[in-house]
Structure 1
Amino acid sequence: MSTVMKAKDAVYASLAQCFITIAGNRYLFMQAIDLEAKMDKTKTKVPILGKTGKGNKASGWEGTGSATFHYNTSIIREMLKKYKDTGEDVYFDIQISNEDPTSAVGRQTIILRDCNVDGGILAKFDANGEYLDEDMDFTFEDWEMPETFQLLEGME
């Protein structure tokens, strides 16, 4: 019999916390609907004598992300307005923690450092809509992982 993951160990999607820290002010970003941050490695093609193909060597990385949240906070628009009015760009941190008390994996926390929005919605309405939401694309300069998921029984 092979070892398989127990269904209870899947992490429930909405059991997360998201905090944004801007200029020393920490906000529980409870209006978040979804967020995804990823790291893409930059690779350089390396010619290798005696091979018909080239190798790939990591030569850097880029952090990007996107989020959707309820249209009921002006925090992002205030950052955009500050940039428009003063030319001073705003960098901030985002902390995401995933923890499902039913799962044996425990809690994972990722902190995205020096995030910067690509732009954002200034005004919006939808006469046919049920609720308003908005999307935010961003970049980040660094990240940390102070808490990691535990290995499930049978992984080792």
Structure 2
Amino acid sequence: MSGFMNTNDAPSSKLATLYCTVGGRRYAMLNAKNFEAKANVSLADVPILGKTIKGKKPSGLEIKIKMTLYKCTEAFDRLVEEYKNTGMLPTFEAEVESNDPATSMGASGKTYHQCMIEGDVLLSSFDADGDFIEQDIEAYAMDYSKDSEYKEPAYM
């Protein structure tokens, strides 16, 4: 066993893929600039007789997604439009995989199910002094599944 981490095992954040299925159509989100999914575990206080320190117990989980896209598609606009016209907000799926071939760990992939957008969706924009039109999409996933996972490096 080595006493140090292999520097090649620091995965590059640029070597990833993202696909979103919106309205039954699967998009290769090559216009994605960044993507982040986080699980937030909620804890509840558990007062314990005879102790001054409260205990904690898990009481919930939410999965928050954030991504920034160059505005090359109006797929997310259509979700807002459907909600505006019908009162029903459609969900979407997001499949993400990180795979840096220089690492010894392989790929890590997850699919986020029944994602529901929250907050602003950029419908129109221009800026005579600006560079590129980008939009931030935020959503909550109702579940996720693991498609692949990193192998533990031998030095761990």
TM-score (norm 1): 0.94
2:24 is the alignment partner of 1:24: yes
* Map of 1:54 onto structure 2: 54
Distance in 2 between residues matched to 1:125 and 1:71, nearest whole Å: 11
Question: After superposition, where does 1:76-87 map in structure 2 within 5 Å?
Answer: 76-87=76-87
The 8 Å contact of residues 2 and 155 in structure 2, kept in 1 or not, is answered as: no
* Map of 2:8 onto structure 1: 8
CA displacement at 1:83 relative to structure 2 = 0.8
1:129 is paired with a residue whose SS is coil
Distance in 2 between residues matched to 1:29 and 1:82, nearest whole Å: 21
**Unaligned 5+ residue runs, structure 2?**
none
* Map of 1:131 onto structure 2: 132
User: How many pairs were matched up?
Assistant: 155
Which 4+ residue blocks in structure 1 deviate beyond 3 angstroms?
none
Code of the aligned partner of 1:138: A
CA displacement at 1:2 relative to structure 2 = 6.5
**What is the RMSD of the two structures over their aligned residues, measured on CA atoms?**
1.4
Distance in 2 between residues matched to 1:77 and 1:25, nearest whole Å: 14
Distance in 2 between residues matched to 1:70 and 1:146, nearest whole Å: 26
CA displacement at 1:130 relative to structure 2 = 2.0
* Map of 1:95 onto structure 2: 95
**Unaligned 5+ residue runs, structure 1?**
none
1:150 is paired with a residue whose SS is coil
Distance in 2 between residues matched to 1:101 and 1:109, nearest whole Å: 14
1:25-74 Cα shifts (integer Å, max 9, x gaps): 21111110001111111111001122111011001111111110101111
Code of the aligned partner of 1:122: L
* Map of 1:154 onto structure 2: 155
Identity across matched positions, percent: 30
Code of the aligned partner of 1:134: Q
